Structure 1
């Protein structure tokens, strides 16, 4: 049972890189939640991995989220402010360690990707079948040659195109990070979105909300709460009333950035 779980976990980690690699070919951008969800679709959770933890997240999902740190440490994955990105070494790793057991061993032992490993190539696209141009009937061609050239009608000025309507996103009046580290930020209590100490600042140019802090090393959980109450709140992957965000912090400065367009948050 334990061995099967380990094998599935390794296969999912490899799938995370595979999904990111496919994204580079298709130029389709996926956020972290979509990448993890696709990995779990391809390598489904077993009964034990499907058990929900206290935060409402399946055990296997939490494990996969935590273990992606191994990909970062190996230099195959970068978790940035704008999302997750596979590195060139990560792309080569999908070629050099194509089999799940090879991939797991290389990741566990810190085996570098061989320098001569080529970057993977995108799957060949089928060329669209071209239909031969239809030939004109001889009679039609002759008639066309005898007919006098028609004068071109004067061109009318094209009507100006209407500018596309831009939907305006109404921002909340306040955004707070409510979690188990609020007292560290100076608030009277944890999990309380009404205090000034946990409010984020709005960046009008980038249209995002940010909060910079210094936290001791540790494991933290939190959610985004709007307008100083719990009436509207967002958890992991921008889900309303969703599971808690989780943060394994090494200690030191950290910046939280919330985008109301996606209802999600990134840290840097």
Structure 2
């Protein structure tokens, strides 16, 4: 029997945590859009959930995005400017409530994670076994070969400062020459036409200290859609959840000041 839409949504929320938990053991950092996309791959949308809403976003995708607020409220997920982070309590929740039905009830009733719950363990890797085999071969090699291998190993060893290098990679992320917020309000900003990333009025300013791009303006109350376009063209553009060539961002605005902030490390945007 097929799962109901509500059940699927709950399973996807657990999958969001599972994906983030798995990410803590890998070297790849996923942005919010990739986490949501992976959750939907593992728990596919049904026909109704796949229906596109305004902006081209599937109904189920938008529902899941909204529902992740429950994970934040539970203290299992933190949504930051640089992406989503699973908390230690969130990691324990994937162990304490491993079954989807248990997870659903715990999240709905606000059940705290038992204090004695251990953190999930990293999956076993086969790499160490291969390294052990390599050591055995070296042990049986001629002394000259062992010495040569040891010298090569010693030369390659000074790579233990992983964290500083990771931080350096973020700092050295190559920024685009220009970032535009192109949408149906560009004329309000003073541009000759809407959806035109080539005009100066649509360009965002780079904050070198925070490593983000911003545009602060005032807009009349209304519903707006837009995308991020790099280098004054549509050749490289990002939509909702930081997805390249993705669906439009949406803004329901009450009127007044609004600040758009684009982070090139996640390709996503937030408004305030």
Could you tell me the TM-score, scaled by structure 1's length?
Answer: 0.69
Note the C-alpha offset of 1:121.
1.4
Among 175, 180, 191, the alignment partner of 1:175 is: 180
Question: In the alignment, what sits opposite 2:103?
Answer: 103
What whole-Å deviation, never above 9, does each CA across 1:54-93 have from its counterpart, x for those lacking one?
2212221111111111111111111111111000111011
Note the C-alpha offset of 1:10.
0.7
1:211 aligns with 2:215: yes
Query: Mapping of 1:8-157 within 5 angstroms?
Result: 8-126=8-126, 127-128=128-129, 129-130=132-133, 131=136, 133-134=139-140
More helix by share: 2
1:265 aligns with 2:245: no
Rounded to whole Å, the distance in 2 between the matches of 1:41 and 1:197 is: 39
SS in 1 for 2:25: helix
SS in 2 for 1:26: coil
Question: In the alignment, what sits opposite 1:256?
Answer: 260
**Against the structure 1 CA distance between its residues 59 and 167, is the aligned structure 2 distance closer, same or farther, given a 3 Å change threshold?**
closer
Question: In the alignment, what sits opposite 2:247?
Answer: 243
Question: In the alignment, what sits opposite 1:157?
Answer: none
Greater shift after overlay, 6-15 or 210-219?
210-219
* Matched length: 238
Rounded to whole Å, the distance in 2 between the matches of 1:99 and 1:167 is: 40
Let me know the Cα RMSD of the aligned residues. Answer: 4.1
Q: What are the ranges of 5 or more consecutive residues in structure 1 without an aligned counterpart? A: 145-165
What whole-Å deviation, never above 9, does each CA across 1:201-229 have from its counterpart, x for those lacking one?
22245553113468899976432256778
Rounded to whole Å, the distance in 2 between the matches of 1:248 and 1:107 is: 28
Question: In the alignment, what sits opposite 2:157?
Answer: none
Rounded to whole Å, the distance in 2 between the matches of 1:52 and 1:84 is: 25
Q: Which has the higher contact order (CA 8 A, sep 6+)?
A: 2
Rounded to whole Å, the distance in 1 between the matches of 2:187 and 2:115 is: 47
SS in 2 for 1:25: coil
Rounded to whole Å, the distance in 2 between the matches of 1:74 and 1:189 is: 47
Note the C-alpha offset of 1:32.
1.1
Q: What are the ranges of 5 or more consecutive residues in structure 2 without an aligned counterpart? A: 145-171
Conserved? CA contact 1:106–1:112, under 8 Å: yes
Note the C-alpha offset of 1:21.
0.4
**Against the structure 1 CA distance between its residues 180 and 17, is the aligned structure 2 distance closer, same or farther, given a 3 Å change threshold?**
farther
Note the C-alpha offset of 1:110.
1.5
What whole-Å deviation, never above 9, does each CA across 1:26-59 have from its counterpart, x for those lacking one?
2321111111111111111112222222221222
Rounded to whole Å, the distance in 2 between the matches of 1:236 and 1:42 is: 20
Conserved? CA contact 1:176–1:228, under 8 Å: no
Conserved? CA contact 2:227–2:249, under 8 Å: yes
Rounded to whole Å, the distance in 1 between the matches of 2:219 and 2:87 is: 29
Rounded to whole Å, the distance in 2 between the matches of 1:64 and 1:212 is: 29
